[in-house]
Amino acid sequence: MAGLRRGSGVALSAWRGRSTTRYVVGIHDVGSDDAIEAAPAVVIAVRRNEAGLASPIDVASIETAADAVAWVRLAQASGASELHIHRLADAASERAAVVADLAPALPLDDCAA
């Protein structure tokens, strides 16, 4: 367990979907290459207000690095400051299910961190 704490230094959080399932995410700066390198993954574009409260802007299943580049550009243009990356869904169908669970709740959902 001690080795886990000394890992990459990525902050972790979780989002709760409409189903009440919690999805653990790593928090990354929107300008980093993490979304591109994470593909395939579920990525949530997030903006933080002055008080530090996270608000989701969009969520997508990113299947390839090319998809990630285009999607991150749109997220940045929409005002995202962070990418919350969920890497625990292995199959495309699992990632689509996570997106479907999170997307309807985006405006009303809360982030754990």
pLDDT digits (tens, 9 = 90+) for 2-35: 444 445 678 999 999 999 999 999 999 998 888 7
Residue 61 CA to residue 83 CA, distance in Å, equals 12
Q: Which two tokens stand for residue 42?
A: 């579920």
Q: What is the pTM of this model?
A: 0.82
Residue 59 CA to residue 46 CA, distance in Å, equals 9
Q: What is the pLDDT of residues 29-57, one digit of tens each?
A: 998 888 778 889 999 999 999 998 999 99
